Amino acid sequence: MGATVLHREPLKRQRLRLDHQRSFAVDAAIALSSAAALAHAASTSSHYSWWALSGGLFAFLAVAQGALAYRLYRKPMSDAALRVAVWGTVAIVGLYVVSRTVGIPFAPEIAGHGGAARPGRSIVPGANKYVGAFDLLTLVVELLLVMVLTGLMTKQTRQRTSAKLMWAGLAIWVLAGVSAL
């Protein structure tokens, strides 16, 4: 009498497999954070040759965004950790925009578009630093990462974080408007 023996996976293995089932949004956040980490890693040496502090920042960003991707891969993140990731990414985007518009005041001088640029002066007319396709792609990746990470938060935390992001954006626009006067 041929009894059929059902092979069941041990309970621990079943739980492990279930723990690793992630949503598409988490997988997207992992991919976006990994892409941003790779972009910063690829740019580290060129930034280091211009200014050691800039190269160090790029190396730190590559490690931090890689760690974020790994953390998302390993297990779900708390709302507090997601808020830190969102605001950290917003800070990176803000630093990028400042470096490409008004310049970083304490940065060394660099040549931009054929002329010497002065730190702290606007690059829109004078071009303090080149804005390339790779820069813009990385910027889009980081903005998408902010949106996806915000979407992973619980409803209440997402609403509060979104409101604070909007207020921060409004404050920046007001400051830019006042400084233009």
Give the per-residue pLDDT at 101: 76
What value does the mean pLDDT take over residues 45-59?
83
Give the least confident one: 13-22, 47-56, 161-170. Answer: 13-22
Q: Which amino acid is at 165?
A: L
Residue 20 confidence (pLDDT) above 60: no
Please report, for the chain, the start and end positions of each structural domain, with discontinuous segments joined by +. 23-162
Which tens digits make up the pLDDT trace of 145-176? Answer: 999 999 999 999 999 999 999 999 899 888 87
**119 contacts 106 by C-beta, under 8 angstroms:** yes
Which tens digits make up the pLDDT trace of 64-120? Answer: 999 999 999 998 899 999 999 999 999 999 988 887 777 777 676 655 444 455 554
Structure tokens at 173: 């626009």
Measure Cα distances from 114 to 103, 110, 126 in Å: 17, 10, 10
Give the per-residue pLDDT at 149: 96
Give the least confident one: 4-18, 32-46, 63-77. Answer: 4-18
Mean pLDDT of all residues belonging to the chain? 80
**39 contacts 58 by C-beta, under 8 angstroms:** no
Residue 18 confidence (pLDDT) above 60: no
Give the per-residue pLDDT at 126: 38
User: In which element (H, E) is residue 99 found?
Assistant: helix 79-101
- pTM for the full model? 0.75
